[in-house]
Amino acid sequence: MSSQRDVLLLVGSAKRPRSTSESLGSYLCERLGERGFETETLLIHRALKSDQGREELLAAADHAGVIVLAFPLYVDSLPYLVIKAMEVIAKHRRAGGEREKQRLLAIVNCGFPEARQNDTALAICRQFAREVGLEWAGGLALGGGEAIGGQALPKVKGMARNVIKSLDLAAAALAEGKPVPQEAAGAMAKPITPGWIYALLGGIGWKRQAKKHGAQKKLRDRPYHQS
């Protein structure tokens, strides 16, 4: 039996000690906790390591009234372990009977500056919710997530102001039993840094990696070019 006042955060990143996905999901859970919700966090990569971990994940997912799935974008889609968790949950739910209302919110971040790069991943999450009988509470997409780097959002300060605004709005809506408003999605999608800064820093990082591997003079090579 699910409890509408219980929130389960499923973190789909395996990055340790802390990922941007966990930072985003934890901030949202903290805001919901202030509103009287009980929250629990599970790291998917740990839960899927053993049969006991899978059982604990399924039990937590059965009990939660709100499931928050936070993960990084992998090649326009979800990380393998997140997909595996979806498959495990789907198989379990199809074998069960009638269920009470449960909601799913997805939060995805990518390294690209454009939040729209996450659209396909959110569409997959929405379809998953539909197929397993979860109410779709909405999706939040963040571009340039590496700028947060797993830090607690209040420590990021000004750069994360729109992210914080988005999650505050999402928490308020979820607490009232409503889906995440478009205003929250719009705030999350605003660029963390200007595009030119992203390109500049990306170029510097690329050159540093090339130097590290002795390839700084090969950056403009075109080995497969056909004239």
Q: pLDDT value at position 135?
A: 96
Which residue blocks in 34-159 are alpha helix, DSSP H?
A: 44-47, 51-63, 80-95, 119-132, 153-156
Q: pLDDT value at position 86?
A: 97
Q: pLDDT value at position 194?
A: 64
Which DSSP string do the residues of 132-178 spell out, in sequence order? Answer: HT-EEEEEEEES-GGGTTT--HHHHGGGGHHHHHHHHHHHHHHHTT-
pLDDT, mean of residues 157-171:
92
pLDDT band at 1 (very low <50, low <70, confident <90, very high): very low
C-alpha to C-alpha distance for 108 and 93, rounded to whole angstroms: 24
Sign of the torsion formed by the C-alpha atoms of 117, 57, 15 and 157:
positive
pLDDT band at 77 (very low <50, low <70, confident <90, very high): very high
> Which pTM does this prediction carry?
0.87
- The yes-or-no verdict on residue 3 having pLDDT over 70 is no
Q: pLDDT value at position 188?
A: 95
Q: Look at residues 136, 1, 130, 137 and name the one whose alpha carbon lies nearest to residue 60.
A: 1
Q: Which CATH number fits domain 3-193: 3.40.50.360, 3.40.390.30, 3.40.190.80, 3.30.1490.20?
A: 3.40.50.360
pLDDT digits 0-9 by tens, 197-217: 666 667 777 788 888 888 888
Give percent of the chain with pLDDT exceeding 90.
66
- Residue-range domain boundaries for the chain: 3-193, 194-227
